[in-house]
């Protein structure tokens, strides 16, 4: 299953675009992150996904990691605080995050 994406706004910014969206993660988080593409986020051209700002949600912190080879995609990693050490650790493989929704601002072209 893939993440759910609802595009809220799109803006042209110079030669690029900015997309504001809401994402809902899926019921089986894969270790190494949820894949996402520029096309899925609603970029018109869909050729590049430069950066993504993700809000924290339901005790989770998110990070976008761009694909080093394919510039139109990347992964969204989910982290949660480790109760013992207080540090952030990646959510365990197959964790159900389907109730977690976060706001996203993505930059690309």
In the chain, the domains with their CATH numbers are 4-108 (2.60.40)
Sign of CA dihedral 2, 73, 29, 23: negative
Run of H or E residues at 17: strand 16-24
* Percent of the chain that is helix, strand, coil (3-state, to 5): 0, 50, 50
pLDDT digits (tens, 9 = 90+) for 36-94: 999 999 888 767 899 999 999 888 999 999 998 999 999 999 999 887 777 899 999 99
pTM of the predicted structure, to 2 decimals: 0.89
């Amino acid at each position: 299953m893939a993440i759910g994406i609802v595009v809220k706004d799109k803006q042209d910014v110079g030669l690029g675009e900015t997309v504001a969206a809401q994402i809902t993660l899926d019921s089986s988080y894969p270790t190494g992150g949820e894949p996402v593409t520029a096309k899925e986020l609603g970029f018109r051209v869909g050729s590049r996904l430069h950066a993504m700002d993700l809000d924290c949600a339901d005790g989770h912190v998110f990070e976008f990691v761009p694909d080093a080879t394919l510039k139109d995609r990347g992964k969204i990693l989910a982290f949660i605080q480790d109760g013992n050490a207080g540090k952030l650790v990646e959510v365990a493989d197959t964790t159900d995050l389907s109730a977690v929704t976060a706001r996203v601002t993505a930059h690309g072209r």
